[in-house]
Amino acid sequence: MSIKKIILLLCIVFFTVQAEAQNDVERFYLKSQKNSNTGMYVLGSWALLNIATGAYGMTNQTGSSKYFYQMNLFWNTVNLGIAGYALVSAHLNDPALLSPQQMVDKHMTLEKVLLINAGLDVLYLASGAFMVSKSKSSTKRPDLLKGYGQSLLLQGGFLFVFDLVLYAVQHQLASRLLENAAFSISPQSFQFAIRF
């Protein structure tokens, strides 16, 4: 076999392997986006439920219950904004414009954000526990401290579980991508494949 034929054959193999790997990474990224979108639908549904019950409870309850519902309404207005923004951004995102590396980078960034959020959720829980505890000895607005603290415990607890579950789902997807990546090098060939 001549050198030209070998080079041509290597180029064909290289571009075929590269195209197949890109298709596999694109499938991985689309699954990652689907998982993320499902998470945002869950977050948005939680937010809508809390906004509705918060508005009702805030106007029909008194004492610490009134403040509990009030904080739920305020907190979930932000959650609804985050979920809405993420879903609109995902809808406008065109994976065809991203390189395989950019797809993987976007996925890994989401995993990091979820872990950072889980850390913040622990702070929300600690703040809520502190406010509830402080309400027992406070002479200034103990109902507000107790209601807001209980809301932070509920919202922080939900978000902690939400962020960790979504992280676990996304991390498992990335692990499968790496587990299923197979490299094979021999004097006759070089192979790269990803199996889902």
Of 63-77, 87-101, 106-120, 139-153, the poorest mean pLDDT is in 87-101
- The Cα 1–Cα 17 span in angstroms is 22
**Residue 83 amino acid letter:** A
Q: What is the pLDDT of residue 36?
A: 97
Q: Check: CB of residue 58 under 8 Å from CB of residue 69.
A: yes
Segment 85-117, tens digit of pLDDT = 999 999 998 888 998 889 989 999 999 999 999
Put simply, whether the predicted model's pTM sits higher than 0.85 gets the answer: no
- The Cα 47–Cα 53 span in angstroms is 10
Nearest to 34 by CA among 176, 168, 166: 166
Could you tell me the residue ranges of all domains in the chain?
A: 37-178
